[in-house]
């Protein structure tokens, strides 16, 4: 194994993290606060590792930042909606059932090509919801084109893309909290 593997790996992640447009992070943070102040909610969704990230971020937005946030990771919801409507429509239907005008939808897809995530973005637009996207792989992926603000990682490696998305999302949480390092108590 290459002795430089980990230093190269961490450099890829650092490069990805630092590539973000910081004014967009601030704009998204301000949008999330405005949505919360208006009594609306934040909805976060993704598949696989992105689903785990959506769950983690939703909990942190709710508990740590005081922002009402939900995700669609319940097995009964996912299996019911995908059984009845097909997996390509699972998040679209969840947004239709749980989304309200003025809510904010954050969608995460490493490839930016997940049909169920793209369909959710389209449904959110019909409900007059703003959409924030996190994607990677190809610069012109379909999901990126649907975001009011879109964050993109220039990598085709799932773990690099996912780790970068995760850092950006949790940085938004901490920005809203207003502290870089705070006690869990």
Domain count, the chain: 1
**CA separation for the pair 84, 100 (Å, rounded):** 22
According to the model, what pLDDT value does residue 111 have?
98
Mean pLDDT of 103-107: 98
For residue 27, being part of any structural domain is answered with yes
| CATH number of the structural domain spanning residue 117 | 3.40.50.10490
For residue 182, being part of any structural domain is answered with no
According to the model, what pLDDT value does residue 181 have?
73
On whether the CB atoms of residues 64 and 80 are closer than 8 A, the answer is: no
- 102-140 burial, b at 16+ Cβ within 10 Å, e below that, comes to ebbbbbbbbbbebbbbbbbbebbeeeebbbbbbbbbeee
Mean pLDDT of 119-124: 98
For residue 34, being part of any structural domain is answered with yes
- In this predicted structure, the answer to whether residue 1 has a pLDDT above a threshold of 80 is no
pLDDT tens digits, 29-80: 999 999 999 999 999 999 999 999 999 999 999 999 999 999 999 999 999 9
Strands 149-152 and 69-71: unpaired
- In this predicted structure, the answer to whether residue 3 has a pLDDT above a threshold of 90 is no
Mean pLDDT of 98-102: 97
For residue 184, being part of any structural domain is answered with no
For residue 54, being part of any structural domain is answered with yes
Q: Quick one: pLDDT band at residue 184, thresholds 50, 70, 90?
A: low
pLDDT tens digits, 141-178: 999 999 999 999 999 999 999 999 999 999 999 999 99
**CA separation for the pair 109, 61 (Å, rounded):** 19
Query: By residue range, what is the domain housing residue 83?
Result: 23-177
pLDDT tens digits, 11-34: 999 999 999 999 999 999 999 999
For residue 91, being part of any structural domain is answered with yes
3-state secondary structure of 147: coil
- In this predicted structure, the answer to whether residue 185 has a pLDDT above a threshold of 80 is no
């Amino acid at each position: 194994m290459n002795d430089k593997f980990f230093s190269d790996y961490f450099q890829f992640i650092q490069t990805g993290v630092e590539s973000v447009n910081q004014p967009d992070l601030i704009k998204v943070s301000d949008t999330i606060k405005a949505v919360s102040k208006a009594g609306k909610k934040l909805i976060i969704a993704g598949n696989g590792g992105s689903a785990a990230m959506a769950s983690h971020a939703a909990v942190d937005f709710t508990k740590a930042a005081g922002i009402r946030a939900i995700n669609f990771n319940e097995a009964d919801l996912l299996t019911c909606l995908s059984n009845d409507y097909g997996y390509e429509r699972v998040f679209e239907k969840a947004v239709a059932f749980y989304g309200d005008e003025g809510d904010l939808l954050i969608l995460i897809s490493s490839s930016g090509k997940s049909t169920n995530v793209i369909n959710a973005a389209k449904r959110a637009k019909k409900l007059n919801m703003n959409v924030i996207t996190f994607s990677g792989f190809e610069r012109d992926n379909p999901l990126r084109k649907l975001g009011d603000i879109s964050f993109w990682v220039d990598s085709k490696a799932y773990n690099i893309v996912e780790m970068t998305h995760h850092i950006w999302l949790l940085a938004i949480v901490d920005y809203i909290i207003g502290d870089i390092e705070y006690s869990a108590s």
